[in-house]
Amino acid sequence: MAEKKKMAPRDNGSPDYKKFLHPMMAKNYGKWKYHENIRSGVNMYVAESGDRLYVVRAGSTRTMSVDTVRKVCDIADKYCQGHLRFTSRSNLEFLVTKKEEIEPLIKEVKDKLGFHIGGTGHSISNILHTQGWLHCNLPGTDAAGAVKAMMDVLYEDFINERLPQRVKISTSCCQINCGGQADIAINLQHHHPPKINHDNMKICEHPKVVAICPVAAIRPAKKDGKDTLEVVEEKCMYCGACHGQCPSMEIRDANTDTLAIWVGGKSSNTRGGPSFMKLATYGLPNNPPRWPEVSDAVKKILNAYKEGAKEEERIGEWIERIGWKRFFEVTGFKFTKYHIDTYRYARTTFNTSTQVRL
């Protein structure tokens, strides 16, 4: 009989999360009675069996070196039976079974990692940024740098629970916005269609880039007798997806790219269900290394939200209650024709769920 060839395990798709649960979570799976917040950054989960699991949340740097990940794992080995988890906003969560170990754990997280404890309840969760220049070929700005600058400014709202509800903020380095929906989202915007370098254009079979355009704005063309491409400019929405597929189509432009802020997005099903973000302000300069104009605009939104929202209202719910007219009044942002969605070329099925990302 032929020897059975050993195959490497498949590594696509999510692994079965149940294999990785903390032993106390596995033991009490589906049998949790309630949970409560015992201090900013620490939640306690109580099971029907009487077991108590304490979850200590720290804001990670999102992009981490191998050395830092090893230090994180050493702390999890020491206090959490080798288990920890990352939330969707890159908060680190350490799972502790002994209440007396919470303070020593927090001290080690601060001393050895330099991370701060917070992000639970009615606070700003760790700010999310997209993969950016580490893995993507489209970034028009340094989303990671903008997040660091903003976290420095909003730090007190991360370590204290003093907002009407939780606030999730994300930064995306292009309008494809792989940061997803957020209460406040900062996105880089391009302001013209891609510029085609016809001399560099090596036409591939289809060409593939025609298919990647979500609004079918790219079509094959001839220039000086050579095969190339052209963009139907009135259809193009400046998303930049084509540049990732075809390096001869450059859309990034240091002279014209700016940042925009969108508000009111939410992916969860709580209360009113998921909602899309809407444009609040645009044309903010892409101004590294601190992006002060972006932090100022975010602070304006947060201050107005703190003053005007009812307890438990998320940013989108607050705006819907007071009305968009009032939102522009209290934030001081100018309402313009660009706030009205008149774009006619999007396919009706295109990205119409908050759960779908391009």
Residues 6+ apart with CB under 8 A from 104: 79
* Member of 238, 276, 324, 335 binding ligand SF4 (CB under 6 A): 238
In this structure, are residues 79 and 96 in contact, taking their beta carbons and an 8 Å threshold?
A: yes
**Identity of the residue, 193 or 207, whose beta carbon is nearer to ligand SF4 in the bound complex:** 193
Structure tokens at 318: 């607050």
* Member of 90, 123, 165, 172 binding ligand SF4 (CB under 6 A): 172
* Member of 76, 182, 213, 294 binding ligand SF4 (CB under 6 A): 213
Q: Which stretch binds ligand SF4 (CB under 6 A): 47-55, 72-80, 231-239, 276-284?
A: 231-239
Please count the other Cβ atoms lying within 10 Å of the Cβ belonging to residue 250.
15
Q: Which stretch binds ligand SF4 (CB under 6 A): 28-36, 45-53, 220-228, 230-238?
A: 230-238
**Identity of the residue, 73 or 211, whose beta carbon is nearer to ligand SF4 in the bound complex:** 211
Starting at the earlier edge strand, list the strands of the sheet with 52-59. 32-39, 42-47, 52-59, 91-96, 84-86
**Identity of the residue, 172 or 331, whose beta carbon is nearer to ligand SF4 in the bound complex:** 172
Binding of ligand SF4 by 265 (CB under 6 A): no
- Interface with ligand SF4 (CB under 6 A), residue total 28
Range list of H helices, 65-205: 66-79, 102-108, 143-159
Q: At what angle do helices 143-159 and 292-308 cross, to 10 degrees?
A: 30
Binding of ligand SF4 by 196 (CB under 6 A): no
- Taking alpha carbons only, the member of 131, 130, 149 closest to residue 293 is 149
In this structure, are residues 166 and 87 in contact, taking their beta carbons and an 8 Å threshold?
A: no
- Beta strand pairing status for 169-172 and 128-129? parallel
Binding of ligand SF4 by 239 (CB under 6 A): yes
Q: For the CB of residue 212, give the shortest distance to ligand SF4 in the complex, in Å.
A: 6
DSSP 110: I
Binding of ligand SF4 by 169 (CB under 6 A): no
**Identity of the residue, 139 or 316, whose beta carbon is nearer to ligand SF4 in the bound complex:** 139
Rounded CA separation 349/341 (Å): 16
* Member of 87, 131, 267, 354 binding ligand SF4 (CB under 6 A): 131
3-class secondary structure, 88: coil
**Identity of the residue, 194 or 316, whose beta carbon is nearer to ligand SF4 in the bound complex:** 194
Rounded CA separation 119/158 (Å): 5
* Member of 53, 92, 185, 217 binding ligand SF4 (CB under 6 A): 217
* Member of 109, 151, 251, 309 binding ligand SF4 (CB under 6 A): 251
Rounded CA separation 97/102 (Å): 9
* Member of 113, 136, 221, 330 binding ligand SF4 (CB under 6 A): 136
* Member of 146, 150, 163, 173 binding ligand SF4 (CB under 6 A): 173
Rounded CA separation 321/272 (Å): 12
Binding of ligand SF4 by 147 (CB under 6 A): no
Rounded CA separation 136/138 (Å): 6
Q: For the CB of residue 218, give the shortest distance to ligand SF4 in the complex, in Å.
A: 5
Judged by the rule CB under 6 A, the positions of this chain that interact with ligand SF4 are 130-132, 136, 138-139, 143, 172-174, 176-178, 193-194, 213, 215, 217-218, 231, 236-242, 251
